[in-house]
């Protein structure tokens, strides 16, 4: 009786590489490059403590709202997602869902994250779940699978975390003092101070900002003083980039005096509602961006998310629980006005604009090119495919829009934007998609059949540009 031939592993060395040119570009120019992960949501505390995860559920499923959404869609009860079920039962529930995710990037990512770093080629499903869970859990007991080790084994050169301006950054300092094989940098994320519409949350945040800065905030001037103190504190602790998560850029105020007087009244009277919350956000953000420019930072704007639309999930689980969607906000006019206000004052810092609605790709690509000034290559960037778009189709569409309307060779490439220590496979995913796209065009005669030339471009997009943009090393 003939033995059944074992199927070649789905995630193999040629995954996503459909032609010879793509494979040569990837293996010769991309595969072994270090990773500059300039924007993520990893825990600085976990890095400082070199945390070791108890099991795969803790490492892989807790906090991953991508997986939570898929589980809910397939009919998994919340008890087995974010509820009180055991970690093993939650893993088994996820395993039952994975076969249903065919053609969703979660299927690719799941198999890639089992392949690297665990060396598992088997598909995750209900029948393989027990064996895979035990095998991975056993490896997680090894010090080689601690947080820092997972970062190191992925050849990461920079980890850029996302941090509240009131954070004391002690875990960053502890980790760096302990010695790291990579750079760890905080990023300044001041979203709560812009949201004066959420009055109770805003006032609570002002109290936190007063404690962190040592500045009593009773008017607009003292608010800016407190924010400047935190910018200087972050800068002294290695921060060189700010980040903002906004539906769209705020409108600039028609009357700054109304904005400033409105803040004073809000701080004096908890029942008073600010007459121009949009203008307040725009004016504060304009001043913050001037501070970033003064410090030589870069700034990021993540635009287009419609957040927390499921009140049921928000009330039960809070933010980042899978209750967000793509927004259809107008973007162009507001973004142009804001960038222009900075540019005409010569206060426009190096800027990355991320788009979440695929219908706006060309708008963002064109916008980025409008405000470059020749001072540095790619000063204003159309950022990588983000959140709902960081899959093969989304990455290709972002690359095509940028190539058609901008200069691809300036692009600073992929970032994980993730809370998971296993998400570095997304850099490999991006590199394979990029090499396949370029390789196909080489074979079709749309690009020169010159692997060294195109290979140098691959290296720029996967590593060199980000290293230079963020001054790593």
- What CATH code is carried by the domain that includes residue 62? 1.10.2020.10
- In degrees, rounded to 5, the angle at the alpha carbon of residue 156 between the alpha carbons of residues 154 and 162 is 120
Does 87 share its domain with 208?
no
pLDDT in the model for residue 99: 98
Does 399 share its domain with 257?
yes
pLDDT in the model for residue 1: 43
Does 309 share its domain with 404?
yes
Give the domain extent around 293: 160-469
Structural domains counted in the chain: 2
Give 19-24 contacts, CB < 8 A, sequence gap 24+.
19/436, 19/439, 19/440, 19/443, 20/439, 20/443, 21/438, 21/439, 21/440, 21/442, 21/443, 21/449, 21/451, 22/432, 22/435, 22/436, 22/438, 22/439, 22/440, 23/435, 23/439, 24/439, 24/451, 24/455
Express each pLDDT in 133-189 by its tens digit: 999 999 999 999 999 999 999 999 999 999 999 999 999 999 999 999 999 999 999
Is 45 contained in some domain? no
pLDDT in the model for residue 10: 85
Does 435 share its domain with 388?
yes
Does 59 share its domain with 200?
no
Does 119 share its domain with 205?
no
Helix, strand, or coil (residue 440): helix
Write down the pTM of the prediction: 0.96
pLDDT in the model for residue 8: 64
Residue ranges of the chain with pLDDT lower than 70? 1-8
Does 171 share its domain with 138?
no
- What CATH code is carried by the domain that includes residue 267? 3.20.20.140
State the chain's mean pLDDT as an integer: 96
Is 29 contained in some domain? no
Q: What is the largest CA-CA distance in the chain?
A: 88
Could you give the CA distance from residue 180 to residue 242 in angstroms, rounded to a whole number?
23
Does 282 share its domain with 423?
yes
């Amino acid at each position: 009786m003939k033995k059944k031939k074992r199927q070649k592993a789905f995630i193999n060395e040629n995954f996503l590489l459909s032609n010879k040119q793509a494979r040569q570009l990837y293996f010769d120019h991309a595969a072994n490059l270090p990773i500059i992960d300039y924007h993520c949501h990893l825990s600085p505390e976990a890095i400082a403590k070199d945390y070791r995860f108890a099991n795969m559920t803790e490492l892989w499923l807790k906090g991953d709202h991508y997986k939570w959404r898929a589980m809910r869609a397939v009919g998994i009860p919340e008890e087995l997602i974010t509820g009180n079920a055991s970690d093993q039962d939650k893993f088994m529930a996820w395993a039952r869902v994975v076969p249903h995710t065919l053609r969703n990037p979660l299927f690719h990512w799941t198999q890639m994250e089992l392949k690297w770093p665990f060396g598992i080629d088997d598909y995750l499903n209900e029948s393989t779940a027990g064996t895979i869970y035990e095998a991975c859990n056993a490896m997680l007991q090894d010090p080689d699978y601690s947080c820092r080790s997972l970062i190191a084994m992925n050849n990461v050169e920079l980890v850029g975390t996302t941090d509240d301006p009131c954070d004391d950054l002690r875990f960053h300092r502890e980790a760096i003092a302990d010695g790291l094989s990579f750079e760890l940098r905080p990023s300044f994320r001041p979203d709560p101070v812009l949201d004066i519409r959420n009055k109770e949350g805003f006032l609570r945040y002002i109290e936190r900002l007063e404690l962190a800065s040592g500045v009593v905030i009773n008017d607009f001037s003292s608010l800016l003083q407190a924010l400047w103190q935190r910018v200087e504190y972050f800068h002294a602790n290695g921060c060189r980039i700010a980040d903002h998560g906004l539906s769209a850029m705020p409108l600039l105020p028609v009357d700054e005096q109304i904005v400033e007087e409105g803040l004073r009244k809000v701080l004096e009277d908890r029942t008073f509602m600010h007459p121009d919350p949009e203008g307040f956000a725009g004016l504060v953000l304009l001043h913050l961006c001037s501070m970033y420019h003064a410090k030589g930072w870069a700034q990021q704007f993540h635009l287009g998310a419609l957040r927390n639309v499921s009140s049921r999930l928000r009330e039960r689980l809070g933010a980042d629980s899978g209750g967000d969607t793509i927004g259809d906000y107008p973007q162009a006019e507001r973004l142009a006005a804001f960038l222009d206000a900075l540019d005409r004052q010569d206060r426009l810092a190096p800027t990355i604009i991320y788009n979440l609605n695929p219908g706006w790709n060309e708008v963002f690509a064109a916008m980025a090119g409008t405000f470059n000034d020749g001072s540095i290559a790619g000063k204003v960037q159309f950022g990588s495919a983000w959140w709902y778009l960081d899959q093969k189709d989304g990455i290709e569409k972002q690359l095509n829009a940028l190539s058609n309307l901008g200069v691809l060779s300036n692009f600073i490439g992929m970032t994980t934007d993730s809370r998971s220590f296993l998400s570095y496979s997304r850099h490999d995913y991006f590199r394979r998609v990029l090499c396949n796209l370029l390789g196909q065009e080489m074979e079709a005669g749309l690009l020169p059949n010159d692997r060294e030339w195109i290979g140098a471009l691959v290296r720029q997009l996967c590593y060199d540009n980000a290293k230079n943009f963020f001054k790593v090393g």
